[in-house]
Amino acid sequence: MTKNIFIASAEPYTGKSVIAFGMINMLLAKTQKVGYFKPIIAQDDPNKKDEHVEAMLDYFSLPVNYEDAFAFTRQEMLHQSEDSGGIINTIISKYKKLEDNYDFTVIEGSDFLGEGTAFEFESNALMAKNLGAPVLIVVSGKNKTASQLFKSAINIYRNFLLRDVQVLGVVANMVNPEEADRIKQALSNQLPAELLIAVIPTETGLQSPTMKEITLALGGEVLFGTELLDNQVDNFVTGAMMLPNFLRHIKDNLLIVTPGDRGDIIIGALQANLSANYPKVAGIVLTAGSLPDEPIIKLIEGLQTIIPIIAVQKGTFETTTTIGGIHSKITIENKKKIALAIELFEKYVDIKALDDKIITFSYQGITPHMFQYQLVKWAKRDKKHIVLPEGNDERILKAVEKLITQDIVDITLLGDPIEITNSIKRLGLNLDINSLKIHNPAHSAHYSDYVNTLHELRKNKNVNLEMARDMMTDVSYFGTMMVYKGDADGMVSGAVHTTQHTIRPALQFVKTKPGVSVVSSIFFMCLPERVAIFGDCAVNPNPTAQQLAEIAISSAESSAKFGIEPRIAMLSYSSGTSGEGEDVERVRAATAIVKARHPELKIEGPIQYDAAVDPLVGKQKLPGSEVAGRASVLIFPDLNTGNNTYKAVQRETGALAIGPMLQGLNKPINDLSRGCTVDDIFNTVVITAIQCQDI
């Protein structure tokens, strides 16, 4: 079951707020814990609340703070448009804090008002995808032919699919009532059967502005009728004709626009409103700054019920142009419109079908932004202590600043305390020295104990006490011993030292888990549209079939632990039974071992890379496979292939590679590349902390 839904459009004024009100009302009938989130709001004035967000929260008394219900104003988003990653990360962070408190959250996309609508669609698609929310598309039928509406709906649907956004349904709103049934049938025929299709006819009561909205839009002064400013305006007419002719134009809920010196029109309109023989008049707007003569004012003041009379400085033409461009909003002050919106939703949307789709829907995959957010969240849930042996490296110190600021882990740095302290000051880092532990191995209170422990563990390998003393001054040995003795939960090194230097101590005395004969590595490849696991790309040059099988099993366990459903592809230069040779047979044998030991795992091999990740190629080469075209764990046949492939994919796609993360050791020890960045160090420490949580 999904825990959220994203209501999206691709044009302004689709009436998607009707769907939002209806959705929340529907959900509140099932649970009281319903949240609302609108990532981008239209209100740019920091001193004013967004009327729509305020209406959603207040009408349903949702327990959501206003500031928590959005991430950016529209102008803020446009100003940061070049940093789409930063925008998405902020939105994910705010949304996830909200989501944790509710059983279901309704997310409403942006409004497509003003410039930048192409960027806005991309942003909405990114938001829906990264929040793991299925989309309910809302298209407008206003001023469109049936053909134009079909084309609009299908194009928006396809554009979301092209961006790997999952769609739950399509709602055509504000449709000509006479064509509603035909349009619903046509949409059902042209869109996939699994989509919810709903068609909502035009409802004048929602589209018509109130006298208050018109007054605000015109900047007018209310002369009379303040208590009736909620009057609905369905039509307006210019009172520039003679009175008898004017009276013939009066319709229900009519607004009269006339200069203030047309006393005959003013009195005629007021009298018509009181007459049982004429429709109701909504109000009067007096233009050009002119007011009625005093006798007419006196006459109006004597009436028991007075419709709103508004005075504006603008001329008649400018006034009518402004009125014609007003788009009515559903605000908290007009509860009748909210009730009408909910009524329309319940009448024209199949609520049972929608509820069933929500229950059965399962979002597929995880995006890089979601994955990185989730990693930090997981690391924080059980704070661990990580030792970083290369405490003098500037990149290490900058990563530590981020880790400590976000309160993700406790840190011990190895190195000279004075040198490290001076480096922190020189770099201007916001790091409280008291929040860190800094050890110089040779001067540490643990030194003698660690030396004796190492001697005891390695004396059968001819390591005498003097050798142990010398080895324990090495930061890699000291850091690994901290982990072995339980003085730290995990270790990350390799920014300065080689892989061999980093993991040799771990292989000597931390050793591998029971039943595991080989230490291997994986990278979390954060591709533009998904996260995949690549292994082994860093440790084993030419694994045997047995070792390949162990690497695959360890990688599947890591995949599941980190929230990625394992679908294992055992890679080779051929797929299925098409190839022969020693290398292919080794992969085939490894696949058979995995199937025998873990029949529950989804695995395919041998399989080529393109067949593993491309659905069309996978379907063609291995029809019926559960893995082909959908692989999430890719096991390379040797280090040469794996290391070159991960670097090629990283370079050509711009993917973020998190790792390598070592697998198979009794305790978490991870290796960095000597070319690592601050973010690489940060991410590796985070995944190490998560590994520690199972120890």
- CB hemisphere CA count around 308 (13 angstroms): 27
pLDDT of 116 > 60? The answer is no
Q: Which residue has the tokens 């409802």?
A: 203
| HEC secondary structure over 673-687 | CCCCCHHHHHHHHHH
**Count: domains in the chain:** 3
Of 99, 688, 657, 694, the C-alpha closest to 403 is 688
DSSP letter at 513 equals: P
User: Looking at the domain assignment, is residue 236 inside a domain?
Assistant: yes
Q: Are residues 528 and 585 in the same domain?
A: yes
Q: Please indicate, yes or no, if residue 562 is contained in any of the structural domains.
A: yes
Mind listing the pLDDT tens digit for each residue in 143-161? 888 888 999 999 999 999 9
Residue 675 lies in a domain: no
Residues 315 and 234 in one domain: yes
- Tokens standing for residue 283: 């109000």
The verdict on 175 and 261 lying in the same domain is: no
Q: Where does the pLDDT of residue 114 fall: very low under 50, low under 70, confident under 90, or very high at 90 and above?
A: low
| Residue whose tokens read 């797929």 | 575
Give the total residue count for the chain: 695
Q: How many CA atoms lie within 13 A of 135 on its CB side?
A: 27
Instruction: Report residue 533's pLDDT band, with 50, 70 and 90 as the boundaries.
Output: very high
Where helices occur in 60-179 by DSSP H, the ranges are: 74-79, 84-99, 117-130, 146-162
Whether residues 532 and 650 share a domain: the answer is yes
Question: In this structure, are residues 8 and 131 in contact, taking their beta carbons and an 8 Å threshold?
Answer: no
Q: Which positions ≥6 away from 97 have C-beta within 8 Å?
A: 68
**Which amino acid, residue 457?**
L
Strand order in the sheet with 104-108: 34-37, 104-108, 4-8, 135-140, 167-175, 196-201
User: Can you tell me the distance from the alpha carbon of 591 to that of 605, in angstroms, rounded to the nearest whole number?
Assistant: 6
Per-residue pLDDT, averaged over 293-313, amounts to 90
- Prediction pTM value: 0.73
Domain presence at residue 155: yes
CA distance 121 to 300: 51
* pLDDT tier at 115, thresholds 50, 70, 90: low
Residues 58 and 157 in one domain: yes
One domain for residues 170 and 232: no
CA distances from 591 to 505, 553, 556 (A): 31, 10, 13
Within its chain, how far is the Cα of 332 from the centroid? 28
Question: For the domain that residue 287 is a member of, what is the CATH number?
Answer: 3.40.1390.20
CB 688 within 8 A of CB 668: yes
User: pLDDT per residue over 46-92, tens digit each?
Assistant: 788 888 999 999 999 998 999 999 998 888 877 776 677 788 888 99
CATH code for position 518? 3.40.50.10750
Q: What is the pLDDT of residue 344?
A: 93
Helix (H, G, I), strand (E, B) or coil at 172: strand
Within this chain, do residues 251 and 179 fall inside the same structural domain, yes or no? no
In a domain, 396, yes or no: no
Domain membership of residue 630 as a residue range: 512-664
Same domain, yes or no, for 313 and 344?
A: no
- Across the chain, mean pLDDT equals 90
DSSP 507: I
166 and 278: one domain?
Answer: no
pLDDT at residue 509, as a whole number? 92
> Domain of 28: which CATH number?
3.40.50.300
Residues 200 and 219 in one domain: no
Question: SS3 string of 78-89?
Answer: HHCCCCHHHHHH
Same domain flag for 536 and 560 = yes
Phi then psi for residue 657, to 5 deg, are -105, 115
516 near 554, Cβ under 8 Å? yes
User: Does 483 fall in a domain?
Assistant: no
Closest CA to 543 of 570, 506, 503: 570
115 and 215 in a single domain? The answer is no
